[in-house]
């Protein structure tokens, strides 16, 4: 009997179900021995507290196009993973106990950066683990693409698209705040696709004077509006020069709910222009996966299933140079794939006339 556990951890995104379906179909169709799949409820919590159910073919029927996750998800921060819970439960030992109690041959983890740290920890503790790269931020090291990213780009782009007409009609400055706390792949791609005039990323601290210059230059040249695609983690050059402690202190005292609203106030004060802020928020993580993500997640799931059948453990299924490959968990965990300010996509965007507020 081949027994496989599966969980989805961290924030949800599109195509989680498609990826799990890919794993299930590949293993059940190609295994030479009977197979049992155990789904853990709410991510690592289900593994810790032994909350699970046996998954059957019916569970994976008609879920290719459904967003979210049929298993539910939660965040169990890696920084506290070795700390006992409020009842004194040793979380790491509890996860191992559940794994061995169910006599699992492998644990499949679908998650982002924090989830991969825990997946690697469990691998180092002796469990057979295979992971899949899930996150709308596309910030996992070791893979060119994560599933959920392209669907989120589509949603964020549509938000910018739909701002264009009202911005043009009223001659306003519009700020569209896009998810991306530490990494700017999502606002970068959506900003270019949506025709934003200014894109502000966490990796490229902005100068408010440069932002104002772009807005005023556009106005002088006859453009009635300006659209900014702003990462939720965008930061000014002044704030970037602060220590982490100083910056957190500043945020705690700030009257603004996010950087976008602070920018809006500064632009209004400096230019007198009407400014509106739009925050698509969690819509970027919701809804049905786009066709690209359905195909991509299915491919990743199939390759994960093949690794299980081959008894190759300790890897994340990754995508590099248009091919599905395997990346060692120990190399993935703890590393972040950020936007290089000198990357070709940044230079090409600048050639198109897009400003990043830095020059």
Per-residue pLDDT reduced to its tens digit, 140-151: 999 999 999 999
Q: Describe the chain by its helix, strand, coil percentages, rounded to 5.
A: 45, 20, 35
Q: How confident is the model at residue 169 (pLDDT cuts 50, 70, 90)?
A: confident
Please give the pLDDT value at position 166.
87
Identify whether the C-beta of residue 40 lies closer than 8 Å to the C-beta of residue 52: yes
Model confidence pLDDT, tens digit, residues 63-78:
999 999 999 999 999 9
Average of per-residue pLDDT values in the chain: 95
The pLDDT score that the predictor gives to residue 253 is 87
> Is 322 buried (19+), middle (13-18) or exposed (0-12) by CB count in 10 A?
exposed
Residues 6+ apart with CB under 8 A from 237: 205, 206, 207
Give residues with Cβ within 8 angstroms of 229, minimum separation 6.
156, 160, 176, 178, 187, 190, 191, 194, 196, 198, 199, 200
How does strand 198-200 pair with strand 106-111?
A: unpaired
Domains of the chain with bracketed CATH: 2-148+289-332 (3.40.50.450), 151-285 (3.40.50.460)
**What average pLDDT does range 120-127 have in this prediction?**
97
* Stated pTM of the model: 0.94
Looking at residues 294-309, what average pLDDT do you find?
A: 98
Asked if residue 204 lies in contact with residue 235, where contact means CB atoms within 8 angstroms, the answer is no
Give which of 57, 54, 1 is closest to 32, Cα–Cα.
1
* N-to-C CA span, the chain: 62
Q: Which residue is catalytic, options 12, 41, 137, 293?
A: 137
Are the beta carbons of 132 and 301 closer than 8 angstroms? yes
Give the rounded percent of residues in the chain with a pLDDT score beyond 90. Answer: 91
Q: For residue 59, what pLDDT is reported?
A: 97
The per-residue pLDDT for 250 is 87
Kindly tell me if the per-residue pLDDT of 53 is higher than 90. Answer: yes
Strands 35-40, 52-55: pairing kind: antiparallel
Residue 85 confidence (pLDDT): 92
DSSP string, 113-174: HHHHHHHHHHHHTT--EEEEEB-TT--BTT-S--BTHHHHHHHHHHHHHHHHHHHHHHT-EE
Q: Quote the CA–CA distance of 353 and 359 in Å, as a whole number.
A: 12
Cα–Cα distances in Å, from 272 out to 197, 200, 229, 256, 262?
A: 19, 21, 20, 19, 15
Percent of the chain with pLDDT strictly greater than 70: 100
Range 185-192 average pLDDT: 98
Q: CA-to-CA distance for 173 and 160, rounded, in angstroms? A: 12
d(CA 322, CA 50): 38
Average pLDDT estimate for 4-16: 95
Q: How far apart are CA 191 and CA 74, in angstroms?
A: 29
pLDDT score of 134: 97
How far apart are the C-alpha atoms of 226 and 219, rounded to whole Å?
A: 8
- The pLDDT score that the predictor gives to residue 116 is 96
Q: Is the pLDDT of residue 251 over 90?
A: no
Contacting residues for 350 by C-beta, under 8 A, at least 6 apart? 356
What does the pLDDT average to over 173-191?
A: 97
Annotated active-site residue 137? The verdict is: yes
Averaged over 102-125, what is the pLDDT? 97
Q: What is the pLDDT of residue 359?
A: 82
Q: Report the pLDDT value the prediction gives residue 191, as an integer from 0 to 100.
A: 98
296: how many CB neighbours lie within 10 A of its CB? 26
């Amino acid at each position: 009997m081949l027994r496989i556990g599966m969980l989805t951890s961290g924030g949800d995104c599109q195509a989680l179900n498609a990826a799990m379906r890919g794993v299930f179909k590949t293993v059940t169709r190609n295994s030479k021995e009977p197979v049992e799949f155990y789904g853990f409820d709410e991510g690592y919590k289900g593994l810790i507290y032994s909350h699970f159910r046996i998954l059957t073919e019916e569970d994976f029927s008609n879920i290719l196009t459904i967003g979210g996750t049929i298993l539910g998800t939660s965040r169990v921060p890696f920084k506290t993973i070795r700390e006992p819970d409020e009842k004194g439960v040793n979380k790491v030992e509890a996860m191992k106990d559940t794994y061995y109690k169910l006599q699992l041959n492998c644990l499949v983890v679908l998650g982002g950066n924090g989830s991969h740290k825990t997946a690697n920890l469990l691998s180092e503790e002796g469990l057979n683990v295979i992971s899949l790269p899930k996150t709308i931020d596309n910030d996992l090291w070791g893979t060119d693409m994560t599933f959920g990213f392209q669907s989120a780009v589509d949603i964020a782009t549509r938000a910018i698209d739909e701002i264009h007409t009202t911005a043009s009609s009223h001659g306003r400055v519009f700020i569209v705040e896009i998810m991306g706390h530490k990494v700017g792949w999502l606002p970068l791609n959506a900003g270019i696709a949506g025709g934003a005039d200014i894109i502000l990323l966490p990796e490229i601290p902005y100068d408010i004077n440069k932002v104002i210059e772009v807005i005023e230059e556009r106005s002088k040249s006859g453009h009635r509006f300006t659209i900014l695609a702003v990462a939720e983690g965008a930061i000014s050059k002044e704030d970037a020069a602060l220590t982490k402690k100083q910056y957190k202190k500043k945020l705690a005292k700030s009257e603004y709910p996010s950087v976008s609203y602070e920018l809006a106030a500064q632009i209004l004060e400096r230019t007198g222009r009407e400014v509106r802020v739009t925050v698509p928020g969690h819509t970027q993580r919701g809804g049905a996966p786009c066709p690209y993500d359905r195909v991509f997640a299915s491919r990743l799931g199939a390759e994960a299933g093949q690794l299980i059948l081959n008894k190759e453990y300790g890897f994340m299924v990754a995508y590099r140079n248009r091919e599905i490959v395997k990346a060692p968990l120990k190399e993935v965990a703890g590393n972040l794939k950020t936007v290089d300010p000198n990357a070709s996509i940044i230079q090409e965007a600048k050639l198109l006339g897009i400003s990043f507020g830095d020059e």
